[in-house]
Amino acid sequence: MLNNSMHEPRSITGRIGVGGKRVVDSIVKGLASLHIHPNILTLIGMVINIFAMILFAKGIFTWAGLVIIFAGIFDIVDGEVARRTKRDTKFGAFFDSVIDRYSDLLLLLGLIIWYAKINRIFYVGLTGLVLIDNGKLQVYTPKIKQVQEASTAGHQDLVQMFLALGFGQTAQDLKKNFDVTLAGEEVVDGKKTAVLDLKPRDTGMFKSVRMWMDQQKWVAVQIKTTERSGDYLTLKFMNIKLNANIPDSVFDLKMPKDVKVIKM
């Protein structure tokens, strides 16, 4: 006679996984018995994320996180409910993918609104970079061969200014967006660096930027951005590896010819 405990996971994470699966199975069983259409569950998840976006926009991050977890339950169960009620269709998969992408956009928008409210422009740019690829937002869903695109037209100056602080910036990039002065030399993590003070031409983004440039590789090993409120953020880069032979095409989004493009 076998002991049932032999089939139970011994690790804490294993037990959590088994317990979570039981909870999800119970929810799926209940929803399936109510004959709720899985697309409705998908839509409910996005609606709940709208509340999370509002909470992010108000800076209530803890509650926003809890709301996202609650919304995630619907994203977990909608597919299983569809299978159990034999309502899994290609349109359902398409609808689920599209709604998931809109939910992601809503949450990022909430963060951007909050950081803009408190004048944390650096974080506005940082959050925005999640959305930006070559002047446009692209969300590609391979399973349904669909890409959603949104233009960043009208905000290119801000985007280019922010990107100028990244790796691979040229002197022309910096001079286009900042007034640059040499502040001296310092040693950072054993590396001799040239210290550059950058005054943004667009005063709405940063109050000032200081950049430490490795005098051997001539890339930034440390960047300090100071906002108009006086708050600052220091970024330190370690284990930097350069490979000038990587073509730009490597970073292009590869899509099949028959992909469907949806303009947003």
- Do 28 and 88 lie in one domain? The reply is yes
Instruction: Specify if 52 maps to a domain.
Output: yes
- Do 75 and 140 lie in one domain? The reply is no
Between CA 248 and CA 232 the distance in angstroms is 32
Q: How far apart are the first and last CA of the chain?
A: 62
Domain extent, residue 92, equals 9-118
Structure tokens at 257: 């010819």
Single out the residue in 118, 140, 173 at which a domain terminates.
118
DSSP character at residue 4: G
pLDDT in tens, 206-247: 678 888 988 887 778 888 888 777 777 787 887 776 665 666
| 8 A C-beta contact, residue 63 and residue 110 | no
pLDDT in tens, 3-15: 444 455 667 777 7
Single out the residue in 74, 101, 118 at which a domain terminates.
118
Structure tokens at 157: 């100056």
| 8 A C-beta contact, residue 151 and residue 132 | no
pTM: 0.50
- Do 151 and 20 lie in one domain? The reply is no
CATH number of the domain to which 205 belongs: 2.50.20
CATH number of the domain to which 58 belongs: 1.20.120.1760
Between CA 56 and CA 67 the distance in angstroms is 10
Instruction: Specify if 153 maps to a domain.
Output: yes
Single out the residue in 100, 118, 136 at which a domain terminates.
118
Q: Work out how many domains the chain is built from and give that number.
A: 2
Between CA 31 and CA 185 the distance in angstroms is 65
- Do 106 and 161 lie in one domain? The reply is no
* Low-confidence residues of the chain: pLDDT under 70: 1-10, 119-144, 148-171, 173, 202-206, 241-254, 263-264
Pairing of strands 136-141, 191-200: unpaired
Report which secondary-structure segment, H or E, holds 191: strand 191-200
